[in-house]
Structure 1
């Protein structure tokens, strides 16, 4: 396998993990609704979780951007290697 294909495989895995994390966050949101859990502790949890959910989703979005940037960098480096190798 080439460095680029290894990177692509890693990117696929990281994106799958990011998708799983987002689904898990959404599942927690659904499970802690007012129909499921009532009382002052539930209200506090929902309030706190809302902020945490945003932070996690922002972190996942930032990770996705970094993943894409890393893949593009590897693609560029591999292309440059091919060009410099072909010119010899």
Structure 2
């Protein structure tokens, strides 16, 4: 397997994990709604979770950007190797 194809597989898996994380956040959000959980602790949790959810979604978005940049860098390096004849 080439470095580029390994990178593509890693990217695919990382994006899959990011999607799963975002779905999990949405599931927690729906499960802790006011119709499901009432009381002062539920309000405190929802308030705190809202902030945590935003931080996690921001981190996932940043990770997605970094993943895409890494793949483009590997693609560029592999293309350069092909052009110069130093690739395997």
Query: Aligned with 1:37: secondary structure?
Result: coil
Q: Deviation of residue 5 (structure 1)?
A: 0.3
4+ residue segments displaced more than 3 Å: none
- Give unmatched runs, 5+ long, in structure 1: none
Q: Cα RMSD (Å) of the superposition?
A: 0.9
Q: What's the TM-score once normalised by structure 2's chain length?
A: 0.96
Partner Cα distance (2:43, 2:9) in 1:
42
Q: Deviation of residue 25 (structure 1)?
A: 0.2
Query: Aligned with 1:8: secondary structure?
Result: helix
The aligned residue for residue 45 of structure 2 is 45
Give runs of aligned pairs for residues 18-37 of structure 1, distance below 5 A.
18-37=18-37
Partner Cα distance (1:6, 1:63) in 2:
18
Q: What's the TM-score once normalised by structure 1's chain length?
A: 0.96
Partner Cα distance (2:9, 2:34) in 1:
41
For residues 33-88 of structure 1, the C-alpha deviation after alignment (integer angstroms, 9 at most, x for no partner) is 000000000000000000000000000000000000000000000000000008xx
